[in-house]
Chains A and B, each alone.
Chain A
Amino acid sequence: MRELEMWIDRTKCDGHRLCAELFPERIELDDWGYPIIAPGPIPKALLPHAQRAVDSCPVLALALRRVEQKKPVKP
């Protein structure tokens, strides 16, 4: 099965905080208001919440991506 994880483009994120409102199960805010995203694949039951957070980001900084295969080394 295809496992998905939350990916963030940190250079786009401006700390609008909507993601943490909509997906509190996996996203909390740091002391400056920027999201801390729990690592790892998102459980199937939570995917609708995750998708809502992605869709609501005003600067399109979030995406659901397939979990990258662990390679032994990466440049």
Chain B
Amino acid sequence: MTTLGLLAGPPYSAGPESYRDHVARLGARPAGNRALIDTLDRSGLVGRGGASFPVGIKWKSVQSRSRGDAVVIANGAEGEPLSRKDQTLMALRPHLVIDGALLAADAVRANRILLYVGEAHASSLAAMSRALAERPAADVRRLVLLPAPASYVAGEATAAVHFVNAGIATPTATPPRPYESGVDGKPTLVQNVESLAHAALIARNGDGWFRSLGRNEAAGTVLLTVSGAVAKPGVVEVPCGSTIDEVLALAGGVRGTARAVLLGGYFGGWISARQAGTILLDPKALPAAGGSLGCGIVSVLDEAADPLEVSARIMQHLANESAAQCGPCFFGLKSLSTATSRLAARRPDDGDLPHLHRWTAMVKGRGACRHPDGAVAFLQSALKVFESEFAAASGTRGRKAS
């Protein structure tokens, strides 16, 4: 179906593309150097792991500190429960990811590359492992496949570095940030695997080509995981700047009636279905509009579902996935989750709803990483989009069961 950038080539059913087919289709890997960083700058590529940070700037920050001893972590941990796009990419186009990682290593002058792949993603691990075996010896010498623990925060940049250094995949306090002092104290580039794969194509086809793939002033393409009340859930690649309606059409259309769309993932936010359709999926422009493409989640909530119940379940997951290092995150998210669950069960305690408003503001910005910030941003979107449901649930206290 898709004939765009990353997933162009053989169909999904063909499985992982071999090294021979990859080189025959795309040609040999070009040079990774300072000029490539400038090309990435001009391309407008921003990171696809969730933060949408400009890739060229990130590479430059590592390159300028490297003495030939920098480290690259290709981040395929993908701990977001609703996301499948990194797994899919690694399982279908492992050599594009590896090309991107090698290009990054050459450009930032790194001598080690860690392919950090979620341990729960069996087909991705198998494809990446097989792909490594197909590579020339000169490539393989710098590459190590490292299974990432299956937890939500394991893919956070400082957690990935912490795991490599000490075997513990929890975030650490910043500064220093990984680009300053990461693996073994060396400048470290932690880059999502989809971002690296885009870089591998931009290196071959140029920044103008990448920009021309986008629509409505956006650059390039993006992988999305579409789930929930759609006919054909799965991973799609679309031009950046497409509308949510166009994405839902690609996924076979909405089943039933949509109440809301979760954009960005558990770290993202709800948008009411009435407003969602025409929103442009542009990772660069969305943050300015108060939204986020996050790691590319588009999940449709059916009107038949209870939005409070779904939101409470997500909050519970985020509270459980706190690394339990920072008090405001661990205790704050637990309190928020418990109160949300009581409201969803229509058995609230006095003050649960006001507490949600108070605590979301109180917790924000008070973790070593952004885990609590993402969780409260999600809950704040729920409080806004499902305001009437929360108000009704809050008023159910004292009502006699009949």
C-alpha spacing A15/B367, complex, angstroms: 13
Residue of B nearest to A32 (CB): B331
Task: List 11 contacting pairs A-B, 8 Å CB cutoff, sorted by A.
Answer: A10-B325, A10-B368, A11-B325, A13-B326, A31-B335, A31-B358, A31-B359, A34-B328, A68-B175, A73-B54, A75-B177
A24 within 8 A of B: no
| A10 in contact with B327 given A32-B332, A32-B335, A75-B179 (CB within 8 Å) | yes
Q: Top 10 A-B pairs ranked by shortest CB distance?
A: A10-B326, A32-B331, A34-B327, A11-B325, A9-B173, A10-B368, A75-B58, A11-B368, A15-B327, A75-B61
B343-379 to A contact mask, C-beta < 8 Å, 1/0: 0000000000000001100110011100000000000
**Tally of contacts, chain A with chain B, CB under 8 A:** 54
Contacts of B331 in A (CB 8 A): 32, 34
Asked whether, in the complex, the Cβ of B173 is within 8 Å of the Cβ of A34, the reply is no
Contact size class for B?
Answer: 20 to 34
User: Which residues of A does B touch, CB under 8 Å?
Assistant: 9-15, 30-34, 36, 68, 73-75
In the complex, residue of chain B having the shortest beta-carbon distance to the beta carbon of A8: B173
A29 to chain B, nearest CB (A): 10
Question: What are the residues of chain B within 8 A of A68 when measuring CB–CB?
Answer: 175
A13 touches B327 (CB 8 A): yes
* Nearest B residue (CB) for A39: B365
Residues from chain B with a CB closer than 8 A to the CB of A11 are: 170-173, 325-326, 368
> In the complex, are the beta carbons of B335 and A10 less than 8 A apart?
no
Smallest Cβ distance from B154 to chain A, in angstroms?
16
Contact with A along B148-167 (1 / 0, CB 8 A): 00000000000000000000
Q: Is B310 an interface residue (CB 8 A)?
A: no
In angstroms, how far is the closest chain A Cβ from the Cβ of B317? Answer: 20
Bound Cα distance A10, B170 (Å): 13
